């Protein structure tokens, strides 16, 4: 028998109310012994009292959820106390003494998954909902909770199982009175699966951009307008702006929201040969931030000729995810500077706030952050990519047995996403589809 777990669903702070959540077989006994409710009606809010050793400690609202119609799939109780941490602590200590266990982090949602109340990705989305910092992140997490991602994977999985069932029957029971499968028909079905997965994969984005944020470093030699660009993107004066080269000696960072994505923006020290040891340390930090960023914005003064410092920075960032920004177009445009970068540039004026819309769109495009994207973990994108590769390998084979191996490999990646073990499910599918050995 599983233990009965308890945990507060609200912080241990003085507040209007505090919610205690309980899940497990002891819920009915707890309702009887602590709330004096002998036969609580499911999903009914009871205004009652919480007793410890028949001594009243608080006036509460209690709701009982009968298994399996609860969040965890087990019997559950939710008790709302007055929001005094002392009251909540007394109740928890008494329930632990009664035989309950304090829940581990995420254990209620883990039980919901194990009891089939939600898929693995839906379970993970609960944490995303709690930690979402933008409206877009919250919308994506809610879509995942409703099965926007996992339902599609589940439907693909069912198609896999159907194909495997047919192949298993053909390989294992070919001597029976069953018409043998045509390998071209199997490949046709696999190609449809592969193409569907490929189309779906194109709609997937990296959730780290939506929940952890995009890290952008602004780099360039001193006095090209890095700090001015930094302030303009933030829409506030955060970095010191000066005509004196080397003003920014250490990196400055701040956060803002871009089209629903949290962004950590870093204004780095101007990169040049520095004789001042403090400035030199700042330049070393700039180079570190360049290497760790999702996007680098390399700022150049387009009104002047390129210098040795520009070429040095260009060689540092040219192989990275870099946007080349030519600033000070309001002063003038040096044709040689423009020609060096050719068409792979965005020409702006920070002073006049020109072409910032082009710059922000470029940031989103470089990371494939589009309106209809479903944002999932890197792990899940990797697993789907592996599933597609395995299907492509299957299509190159001419042996049913080898095709079967690659199909099973592809299916295993999708199973890993869903957190399922399906050998038994495949056997069930075989015997429900065919009358074998009658």
pLDDT at 43 over 60: yes
pLDDT at 323 over 90: yes
Residues 199 and 214 in one domain: no
Q: What is the CATH number of the domain that holds 195?
A: 1.20.120.430
Burial class (CB in 10 A: 0-12, 13-18, 19+), 351: middle
Residues 167 and 225 in one domain: no
- From the list 218, 266, 219, 272, the residue with the least C-alpha distance to 246 is 272
Q: Classify residue 302 as left (phi > 0), alpha (psi -120 to 50) or beta.
A: alpha
**Which has more confidence, 115 or 1?**
115
- For the chain, give the percent of residues with pLDDT over 70: 85
Residue 173: per-residue pLDDT: 61
Structural domain total, the chain: 3
Residues 49 and 105 in one domain: yes
- The residue among 332, 366, 400 that closes a domain is 366
- The residue among 340, 366, 392 that closes a domain is 366
Residue 140 falls inside a structural domain: no
- The rounded distance, in Å, linking the Cα atoms of 372 and 56 is 54
Residue 88 falls inside a structural domain: yes
Residue 300 falls inside a structural domain: yes
How many CB atoms neighbour CB 182 within 10 A? 10
Q: What is the CATH number of the domain that holds 71?
A: 3.30.1360.120
pLDDT band at 129 (very low <50, low <70, confident <90, very high): confident
pLDDT at 222 over 90: no
**Residue range of the domain that includes 33:** 5-114
Residue 333 falls inside a structural domain: yes
- The model's pTM is 0.66
How many CB atoms neighbour CB 431 within 10 A? 12
Residues 381 and 421 in one domain: yes
């Amino acid at each position: 028998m599983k233990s009965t777990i308890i945990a507060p669903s609200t912080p241990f702070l003085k507040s209007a109310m505090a919610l205690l959540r309980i899940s497990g077989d002891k819920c009915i006994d707890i309702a009887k012994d602590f709330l004096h409710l002998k036969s609580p009606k499911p999903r009914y809010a009871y205004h009652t009292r919480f007793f410890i050793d028949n001594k009243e400690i608080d006036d509460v609202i209690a709701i009982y959820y009968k298994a399996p119609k609860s969040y965890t799939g087990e019997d559950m109780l939710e008790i709302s106390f007055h929001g005094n941490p002392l009251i909540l602590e007394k109740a928890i200590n008494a329930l632990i003494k009664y035989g309950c266990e304090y829940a581990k982090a995420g254990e209620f949602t883990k039980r919901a998954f194990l009891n089939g109340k939600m898929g693995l990705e839906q379970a993970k989305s609960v944490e995303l909902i709690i930690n979402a910092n933008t409206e877009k992140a919250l919308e994506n997490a809610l879509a995942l909770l409703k099965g926007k991602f996992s339902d599609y994977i589940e439907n693909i999985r069912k198609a896999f199982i159907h194909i495997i069932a047919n192949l298993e029957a053909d390989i294992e029971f070919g001597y029976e009175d069953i018409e043998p499968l045509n390998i071209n028909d199997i490949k046709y079905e696999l190609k449809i699966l592969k193409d569907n997965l490929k189309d779906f994969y194109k709609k997937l984005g990296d959730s780290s951009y939506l929940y952890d944020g995009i890290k952008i470093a602004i780099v360039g030699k001193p006095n090209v307008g890095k700090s001015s660009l930094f302030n303009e993107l933030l829409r506030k004066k955060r970095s010191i702006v000066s005509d004196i080269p080397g003003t920014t000696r250490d990196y400055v960072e701040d956060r803002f929201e871009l089209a629903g994505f949290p962004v950590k923006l870093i204004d780095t020290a101007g990169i040049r040969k520095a004789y001042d040891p403090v400035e030199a340390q700042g330049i070393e930090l700039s180079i570190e931030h360049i290497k760790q960023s999702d996007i680098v914005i390399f700022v150049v003064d387009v009104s002047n000729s390129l210098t040795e410092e520009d070429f040095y920075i260009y060689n540092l960032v040219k192989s990275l995810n870099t946007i080349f920004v030519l600033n000070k177009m309001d002063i003038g445009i040096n044709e040689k500077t423009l020609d060096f970068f050719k068409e792979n540039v965005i020409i702006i004026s920070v002073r006049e706030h020109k072409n910032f819309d082009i710059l922000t769109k470029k940031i989103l495009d470089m990371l494939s952050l589009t309106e209809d994207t479903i944002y999932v973990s890197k792990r899940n994108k990797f697993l789907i990519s592996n599933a597609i590769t395995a299907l492509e390998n299957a299509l190159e084979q001419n042996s049913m047995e080898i095709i079967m191996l690659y199909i099973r490999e592809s299916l295993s990646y999708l199973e890993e996403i869903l957190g399922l073990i399906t050998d038994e499910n495949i056997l069930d599918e075989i015997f429900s589809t065919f009358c074998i050995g009658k």
